[in-house]
Amino acid sequence: MIDTIFFDIGGTILDESREFETWADWLGVPRHTFSAVFGAVVARGLDYQETFRVFRPDFDLEAERERRGAADKPESFGEADLYPDARSCLTALKAQGLFVGLAGNQPAHAEALLHALDLPVDVIGTSHGWGVAKPSPAFFERVVREGGGDASSILYVGDRPDNDARPAMRAGMRACLVRRGPWGHILDLPAVAERCLFRVDSLDELPHLVAEHNATST
């Protein structure tokens, strides 16, 4: 049975479209150009930060975040940036009596913003707070510990086959891929996708799938 569900954050419950639009504006690059280059970087399986370096070869993400903050234009997100199905999905899973958490690669400032959303979750973990980032095995080992220690009872939900599903399954968890965002639509790894317990186009599908799975597992 599935007792615990952890969700990736960016691209899974949080729509990052506006964030990347503000980065294009900050760099002085047309948004459609930035988006096109971003898609090409994702398709090649490269680190998304290579997108920035196409336009500014010496780009350093953390240093640039500090500059944006100093200019009173820091990265930010709120309720409007949640995918429309995110809160309702989390609420429905909690109603099934499941332990629900968030765990993703996020910078320092994101933790306070996530807590401010007051989402119906039991724990929020970030790469900054945990001191380790996906797809490191240590990140997913931490997910297992936070989720009670039994990897086989944990489902990890994410949009990326490379950073989410594959390392989660290697850690002994089950995985669900949600098809949205750049990685969900562009990065196709059939060998990974075929091993996932679920593949969905919307988080609205997940509560029913989990309830059905648990009902047939008893």
Closest alpha carbon to 81 in 120, 117, 45, 132? 117
- Do 94 and 199 lie in one domain? The reply is yes
pLDDT at position 74 is: 81
> What mean pLDDT do residues 99-119 have?
94
The mean predicted confidence, pLDDT, of the chain is 95
Is residue 210 a contact partner of residue 98, using CB atoms and an 8 Å limit?
Answer: yes
pLDDT at 188 over 90: no
On whether both 111 and 44 belong to a single domain, the answer is no
Q: Identify the band that residue 186 occupies on the pLDDT scale cut at 50, 70 and 90.
A: very high
Q: In what order do the strands lie in the sheet with 154-158?
A: 123-126, 99-104, 4-7, 154-158, 174-178, 198-200
Half-sphere exposure of 62 (CA within 13 A, CB side): 4
Residue 66 and residue 42 share a domain? yes
Tally of structural domains, the chain: 2
Same domain, 59 and 108: no
* Same domain membership, residue 108 and residue 62: no
% of residues, the chain, pLDDT over 90: 90
Query: Is residue 198 predicted with pLDDT exceeding 90?
Result: yes
Nearest to 186 by CA among 165, 203, 161, 206: 161
* Cα three-residue angle 205-211-217, rounded to 5 degrees: 130
- Give pLDDT tens digits for 121-159: 999 999 999 999 999 999 999 999 999 999 999 999 999
Nearest in space to 183 (alpha carbons), one of 109, 130, 104: 104
Domain ranges, residue 38: 17-70
- Which residue is it, tokens 């997913």? 140
- The reported pTM is 0.94
Strand, helix or coil for residue 83: coil
- Residue 8 and residue 104 in one domain: yes
- Which band of pLDDT confidence, cut at 50, 70 and 90, is reported for residue 71? confident
Closest to 174 in 3D by CA, of 148, 210, 142: 210
Query: pLDDT tens across 11-25, in order?
Result: 999 999 999 999 999
Q: Are residues 63 and 88 located together in one domain of the fold? A: no
Residue by residue, what is the 3-state secondary structure of 139-153? HHHHHHHHCCCCHHH
Residues 126, 198, single domain; the answer is: yes
Q: Would you state the pLDDT for residue 218?
A: 73
Q: Both 100 and 182 in a single domain?
A: yes
Pairing mode, if any, of strands 123-126 and 198-200? unpaired
Do 107 and 164 lie in one domain? The reply is yes
Q: Are residues 52 and 86 in the same domain?
A: no
Verify that 164 and 197 share a domain, yes or no: yes
At 170, which CATH number? Answer: 3.40.50.1000
